[in-house]
Amino acid sequence: MIESLLRLSIDRRWLMMCLGLILVGIGLWSYQKLPIDVVPDITNVQVQINTRADGYSPLETEQRITYPIENALMGMPNLAYTRSLSRYGLSQVTVVFDEGTDLYFARNLVNERLSAIDASIPNGLQPQMAPLSTGLGEIFMYTIEAMPDARQPNGAAYDATALREIQDWIIKPQLAQVDGVTEINSIGGYDKQYHITPDPQKMLAYEVSFADIKQALQANNSNRGAGYIERGGQQLTVRSAAQLQSMDEVAQVIVKYFGDTPVFISDVAEVAIGKALRTGAATRDGRETVLGSAMMLVGENSRQVSLALAAKLEAVKASLPNGIKVEAVYDRSDLVDKAMATVQKTSLKGLCLLLRYCLCCWAMYVRH
């Protein structure tokens, strides 16, 4: 058998050389497609369930949210154990499954149980599963800053709220379209909000309650469709556009009538642009900034996804307002390339030592 293979290789040496070159080409192509990473991802098969509960103390969160969710998850197939974290306004339950369990199968099991626990937790709370990522899924980070002379369309300088608005409405939606990305997180800055601050004394004077203010805002902040009108073979859409679009419109909403006099929101409350409470911030070089973080989908190639994010970020810069600077501060592909260069350098040194050892052995053999 071996003699036949050798004879065939000698007789068809050009064919064998071509096959060898093809194998080398396939090897080089496969090398470029290998999912190489810096460290192996040893995260177990787990599903996280997060529930926002604004105003709940840690004890209330544990008793009314975390405990019912953990009880509802008991008895699932391949369930290893659960662990939980109850903080002010947040409940987090981590469900760990046996090794080898398909992650999507595990998420389907958890989703079925979550749909059946609405009656066990307070109304208005919605448990949600965390994105499909792992502890090593953070592969790309960037900062958003404004140049000293940059100005908003209204002439004001860019503050932390304006930068966060750019991140949430311009940059984040575009980066989320990159293949292999499961989530884009925003860190730092402030969420822009419209704040209505009632004055208790004025409310007592006009006999207005908080429920009256809430009902008035809900009733005066909606669009309605009224079908269409046919005329001359055309359909003209009829709709009532009554959605509030500015602070002045919010201030002019009628809460109720005090006698024959209408009571507006501005009569009993102050309307202004505010910001949501936060528990953290992002800084760079000692200055506050807005930080964006990209999470990779489980099983993706971190190097390829990082390169795609970097290319997409360069394309996003063209859609940013003048004077806004976006810069990548962490790119997993750089770390992977450096690790690969170290491995290649070490392998080359090992090959040189092996060749040197072989030459020494050959020289000793020839000498004797």
Per-residue pLDDT of the chain (368 residues), as tens digits, is: 677 766 776 677 777 778 878 887 887 787 777 667 777 778 899 999 999 998 899 999 999 999 999 999 998 999 999 999 999 989 999 999 999 999 999 999 999 998 888 778 888 899 999 998 888 889 999 999 999 899 998 888 999 999 999 999 999 999 999 999 999 999 999 998 889 999 999 999 998 999 999 999 988 888 777 788 888 778 888 887 778 888 898 999 999 998 888 999 999 999 998 888 887 889 998 888 999 999 999 888 888 899 999 999 999 999 999 999 999 999 998 888 888 888 788 878 887 887 887 787 677 767 76
pLDDT at position 3 is: 74
pLDDT at position 220 is: 86
Spans of all domains in the chain: 46-129, 138-191+277-333, 193-272
Please give the CATH architecture assigned to the domain spanning 193-272. Answer: 2-Layer Sandwich (3.30)
Helix ranges (H only) for the chain are 2-11, 13-33, 58-61, 67-73, 103-114, 160-166, 172-175, 200-206, 210-219, 247-251, 265-268, 302-316, 332-367
Please state the φ and ψ torsions of residue 169, each to the nearest 5 degrees.
-110, -15
For 288-308, give one letter per residue: b (16+ CB within 10 A) or e.
ebbbbbbbbbbebbbbbbbbb
pLDDT at position 319 is: 94
pLDDT at position 323 is: 92
Angle between helices 2-11 and 13-33 (to 10 degrees): 100
Q: Identify the CA nearest to 184 among candidates 141, 146, 144.
A: 141
CA–CA distance, 188 with 90 (Å, rounded to integer): 19
User: CATH number for the 138-191+277-333 domain, one of 3.20.20.60, 3.20.10.10, 3.30.70.20, 3.30.70.1320?
Assistant: 3.30.70.1320
In CATH terms, the fold of domain 46-129 is Alpha-Beta Plaits (3.30.70)
Please state the φ and ψ torsions of residue 297, each to the nearest 5 degrees.
-70, 145
Q: Identify the CA nearest to 72 among candidates 58, 51, 55.
A: 51
pLDDT at position 7 is: 73
Structure tokens at 154: 């209204």
pLDDT at position 62 is: 94
Q: Identify the CA nearest to 36 among candidates 303, 285, 326, 338.
A: 303
pLDDT at position 198 is: 93
Percent of the residues in the chain that have a pLDDT greater than 90, as a whole number: 48
- Model confidence pLDDT, tens digit, residues 268-306: 999 998 888 887 889 998 888 999 999 999 888 888 899
pLDDT at position 342 is: 86
Say if 46-129 and 138-191+277-333 have the same CATH topology.
yes
Q: Is 275 exposed, middle or buried (0-12, 13-18, 19+ CB in 10 A)?
A: middle
- What global pTM score does this model have? 0.80
- Model confidence pLDDT, tens digit, residues 200-240: 999 999 989 999 999 999 888 887 777 888 887 788 888 87
